[in-house]
Structure formats: structure tokens, C-alpha cells
Amino acid sequence: MRLLKVATCNLNQWAMDFDTNQRNIKESISQAKEAGAAIRMGPELEITGYGCEDHFLEQDTVMHSWECLKDILSGDWTENILCSIGMPIIHESVRYNCQVFCLNRRIVMIRPKMCLANDGNYREFRWFSAWAFKDKLIDFQLPTDIAEAISQNSVPFGYGYIQLLDASVAAETCEELFTADAPRIALALNGVEVFMNASGSHHQLRKLNLRLDAIKNATRFCGGVYMYNGCSCIAVNGDVVAQGSQFSLKDVEVLTAQVDLDVVDLLLIINGQTDVSFHQILKLLFKRTYIENGDEQVKADALRIGQYKNGEFPTDSKEFAKRIFYTVYMGTENSSEDTRSRAKKLADEIGSWHLDVPIDSVVSALLSLFQTLTGKRPHYKLDEVDMGMTYEELSIYGRLRKIFRCGPVSMFQSYSPEDNRFDLRQFLYNSRWPYQFRKIDELVQEMDGDHKAGNLPELLRQGDSDIVSGQGSGMGVVAAGSGNPNAGR
């Protein structure tokens, strides 16, 4: 087994409070080292605090960040532990949101953020630029005082990963977890095993569920260890193995987990219908990078990941897949024999280690146990029943307010308490607005007696016109009588 203990942390950082932030960083490193961790990851922009806003445009903010990093590197904080520390950095007059990897009082690599958050209450493009060179590492010249303090003149800067003696490590930063072409995908296919996502994600109702789903999916198909903070958690091969508190009064909370890198193998749940593309990609990658091009780095990674010994080496994609790739068909009483046989055929084509696992007994056992303990049997209630409206109706409300910028007369109601943080208009309308509310009263009086006031989706289905253009504005809005509830989709 290749055991590795990793640590991620929640820190109570304050914007521009460099003393407090630096103290929390040092304390988190100390706790991680005491727990025996070899890797410690901190939050996004942890030296400055994430919410500095236009202070990020000040040269002083960047300068103070370097000063704090120099103080950390001047002590023994990074001895025998790889630390990811978040801070802003200026390169060629461009400001980047970066993770700085430090080990044994030296800077190993600087990873600038590649996908910036710029929706909702985020304004990262106002202060930073995204690193656009996905396959490029440049030589970054360290500031003079830093270079003198740590006896190091330059460091790799850009998109890449760190190869340690028995593990490979790479970074993602917050928003990159949620992007379609996430940086980790190519790195995972290149053999990277540990991903560190320094996050500054804000709290929002039910957002933790979204985060956890994204984190689990990040390693579910390609395998790997994924570290995340912002409700710290650590996932391995699609399973969360450690999770910190979502809310805490502690200034420093460190979460650790010991993982076995030997279990970081590829796993695919196949249904016998839509997974052929992965098979073709696997064969193509193996053929082009290993057999045709003779890439020595790929060869070394293949020998290591496949655990080839005594001069053995991969001969074809099927033989290699048998060592690293597992497929599972999880059938139920509702599954057809066609999909089961196609899944087996696909696994044979891939060359994977394949399992056919019926899960009906598992489901029945859990239901029976629950019924025995509680005397009740689960019945699943639809979300639409709880809300009192359908998702289609809810989406109509959202499009009217957020996309078409409908006001109180067009809306009759407000959309969501969470909506107001991202929409810089008042959420509660002034009841002394006589004009708008008089118009609402007039519309209510014109309604058919069978319709209840505020049942907007029904009204939307009965009008004649699709879009009413705002006169002279060049913008169209869906009016209360629009006949097309799908407008704006």
C-alpha cells in the first residue's frame, strides 16, 4: 500500500487582516504536521482573505502577501510538508489569483487560476485575469527580497503538476471544479492522483449538496484523491472519506484523512448503451501516446500505475486496462438482458475487470430493515407537491425576473430570497408605490373569476402575443399575458 495522509482546512480569514490570516495559516500547518499529514491545503486567497474586493487592485495588497509568504518560508513551517497557500500575484503587469506550493522553505510551483467566477455575487474579472495557457509552464522571477530570503531566483508558473517520489499532485481553484472542461481531466488521464481545490465559495442554501456531488464526480470516473475546502472534505474514487463542519466558531479547523494511492484506479459504471466513446478514447490515447509516439513520460507513468515489474511492460490497451480499469453493471429487476449483455460485451472490448452485480437484494434488505426498525415503509413525495407548483412553473418565475427583468406589475410576486443577493434591485417593494400596485389591482380585476390572483403560469398560457417589446429600449419582456411560457429558455 502507498499510504498518504492529507490535510485540508477551514480558516476564519478576514479581508486585509494580514496578521490574523497569517497566524491562522501557521496554526493550520502546525496542526496538519502534528497529525502526520504530508500535504496541507488552505483556502483560496487565504493570505489576504477572499473578500478584499477593490483592495486587490492595490499594489500594497500584493506586496504584503509576499511579505507574509516570506515570513512563513523563513521559519520551519513548510519543513517536510507540501503546503498550498493562496495569494494574489502579479506577472508581467497582470494580476492572478494563485496557489503557491511550498516545501522545505522553497516555492515548488505557482498555479494561477484558469477559470474565474464572475456570476452572481462574484466579480473576479474585475480584479484578476484568467491564466489562458493550458499547456504552458513559464519561469517566474521571484521578487528580489523573496529570492534573497529563500535563496531561490525563479519558480515554474502556470498549468502543471508536481511529481513527488511516489505520488503526483495538482491543483484546481474553486470555480474550476464546476467547469465543463475542468483542468483536472487531462491531468487525471496523465496519471495525477491527488487534486487540491482551494476554494472561497460562499454559503447558499443547498449549495453544499451541489459541491459534494461535484467533488464526488471529480474522481468517480478517473479515480483519484480530491481535497476541497469551504466546508472541507476529502474524496477518494467518488466517495467522501472525510468531511468537516459546515459552520464553526473555530478560527482554525483542520481535516485529515489517510488514503491509499494504490486504490486510485479507473472505475466505470456501464449500462450497455452510451459508453462506447470512453472505450475508443482509451484505445486512442494508449495507441498514440505510448505505441506510436514512444512518449517516455507516458511509458514511465504506465509502468508505475499498472505496477509492472521485472521488465514487464504494456503491450496493448486491453492488457493495460485489465490492470487499472474496473467496470460494473449494477442491474435491477427493471434492467433488460440486452443492456446486461451489451455491458459485458463492452467490458470485453475495453479489456476491463468486469463485475455483474444485481442490486435488488440490497435495496430490498435496506427497505426491510428500515420497516422493521420504524414500522414504516418509505414513500417518496414529489418536490412539486412540497412547493405547491411544478418545476416548469418555477422556471417561468425565474425567467421572468432574472432574464427578462420583469418588475412588480409583470411578476405579481417575488421569486426567491436567495435571488436577491445576485440581483441588485430591492427584494421588498415599497408598498407606497401607488402606480405599480394600482396596475396590479387593475389586472386582478380583469382576470376570469376562475383564476386566482397570482397564478401567473395559467395567465401566461392564455395570451396571444409572445413578446412585448419595451418601446425604445431595444429589449423584449414577457408580459403578463404572454402566450409562450418557454420564451427565454
Q: Does the pLDDT value for residue 61 go beyond 50? A: yes
* Mean pLDDT of the residues in the chain: 79
Q: Tell me the C-alpha distance between 22 and 46, whole Å.
A: 8
- The pLDDT score that the predictor gives to residue 60 is 86
269, three cell numbers: 459504471
Smallest CA-to-CA distance from 150 within 39, 76, 93 is with: 76
Name residue, grid cell 475487470. Answer: 353
Read off the pLDDT band of 203 (50, 70, 90).
confident
Any bridge partners for residue 257, and if so which? 6
- The pLDDT score that the predictor gives to residue 294 is 61
Domain boundaries defined on the chain: 3-264, 267-362, 384-477
pLDDT digits (tens, 9 = 90+) for 241-277: 898 887 777 889 999 999 988 877 755 556 555 455 4
Of the candidate ranges 15-19, 228-232, 246-250, the one whose mean pLDDT is the lowest: 246-250
Q: What is the mean pLDDT of residues 422-429?
A: 54
The packing angle between helices 276-286 and 317-324, to 10°, is: 110
Reported pTM: 0.58
The CATH number fitting domain 3-264, selected from 3.30.40.10, 3.60.110.10, 3.40.50.300, 3.20.20.70: 3.60.110.10
Q: Does the pLDDT value for residue 216 go beyond 60? A: yes
Alpha helices in 35-143 (DSSP H): 59-74, 124-127
pLDDT digits (tens, 9 = 90+) for 280-335: 555 555 655 555 556 676 677 778 878 888 888 777 778 888 888 888 888 888 78
Q: Tell me the C-alpha distance between 431 and 142, whole Å.
A: 59
- The pLDDT score that the predictor gives to residue 432 is 63
Q: What is the mean pLDDT of residues 204-231?
A: 83
